[in-house]
Amino acid sequence: MSQFLYLVRHGEQQDAEHGLPDGPLSPRGRRQATLIAERLSGLPLTAAYHSPLQRAAETATIIAEKLPSIELEPSALLFDCVPTGKTPETPSAYEPFFGAVTEAETEAGAAQMTDAVAEFLAPRSGDRHDLIISHNFVIAWFVREVLGAPDWRWMAMDQANCGLTIIHRKPGRPWNLLTHNDLAHLPMELRTGLPDPLPV
């Protein structure tokens, strides 16, 4: 009996550099989604959940076209959010980020991610292979939770567009990080979404 959770960040958003809060995938984002679908195609997926935001929902739809056996389920627990406010341990380098985030936003994000962890990391019976298509900060929070890292550490874990993170749990054991932000399915020109370019 094992649980696998496959965490995928949405594909690149059209005009994301112009600060649009949500929107459709760019042509590159659609290609990224097609390639992650091919990467996942051999898995015995049990369920697939996605953020209702357009960029994640469109990524999920492209994946489902390649994996017709799965049914997509939108979940408000997977919306893009800011999981915490600034903590006493948060390095000063991250302080400017919080200047544009309200206390209400961080409170809502913290509540959402508490519920998301309770929902998606709960023990389940039988073998499970569940897919989650969501956002950078949401996936970072799941990884931070699995590692038992301090709350602020979600800020230091970036996911590329359509990068693949896998966590795994055996009965009676804690969740374990198997792979983080795996990009083997994406050629270099499709590896987008990271704050710093990858070395060639």
| Residue 57 near residue 74 (C-beta atoms within 8 A) | yes
Tokens of 2: 């094992």
Q: What is the pLDDT of residue 38?
A: 96
The string of pLDDT tens digits covering residues 95-114 is: 899 988 999 999 999 999 99
Q: pLDDT by residue (tens digit) across 137-164?
A: 999 999 999 999 999 999 999 999 999 9
Confidence of residue 68 (pLDDT cuts 50, 70, 90): confident
CB distance 33 to 58 below 8 Å: yes
The DSSP symbol for 177 reads E
Domain annotation covers residue 145:
yes
Position 9, amino acid = R
Joined tokens for residue 173: 């054991």
| Number of structural domains the chain divides into | 1
- The fraction of the chain above a pLDDT of 90, given in percent, is 82
Phi, psi for residue 187 in degrees, rounded to 5: -65, 160
Fill in the DSSP letter of residue 156.
Answer: G
Residue 73, pLDDT score: 97
Distance CA 86, CA 95 (A): 7
Does position 195 have pLDDT exceeding 60, yes or no?
yes
What local confidence, expressed as pLDDT, does residue 15 receive? Answer: 78
DSSP 84-114: ----TTS-GGGHHHHTTS-HHHHHHHHHHHH
Examine residue 74 and state whether it is found in any structural domain, yes or no: yes
Structure tokens given for 189: 């020109």
Q: What is the pLDDT of residues 26-46, one digit of tens each?
A: 999 999 999 999 999 989 999
- Position 103 scores a pLDDT of 93
Give the CATH number for residue 140: 3.40.50.1240
| Average pLDDT of every residue of the chain | 93
- Please check whether residue 175 lies inside any domain of the structure: no
**Does residue 88 sit within a domain?**
yes
pTM of the shown model: 0.94
Residue 56 lies in a domain: yes
Query: In terms of pLDDT, which residue wins out, 98 or 132?
Result: 132
Question: Please, where are the H alpha helices in the chain?
Answer: 27-40, 54-66, 95-98, 103-120, 136-147
**Residue 13: DSSP 8-state:** B
Tell me, what's the pLDDT at 20?
Answer: 53
The predicted structure's pLDDT at residue 69: 85
Domain that holds residue 122: 3-170+180-190
Assess if residue 45 is contained within a domain: yes
| Residue 200 belongs to some domain of the structure | no
pLDDT band at 200 (very low <50, low <70, confident <90, very high): low
Q: Which of 40, 36, 61 is nearest to 50 (CA)?
A: 61
In a domain, 196, yes or no: no
Instruction: Give the closest residue to 166 by CA, choosing from 157, 156, 176, 174.
Output: 176
Residue 21: the pLDDT is 80
Q: Are 47 and 69 in contact (CB under 8 A)?
A: no
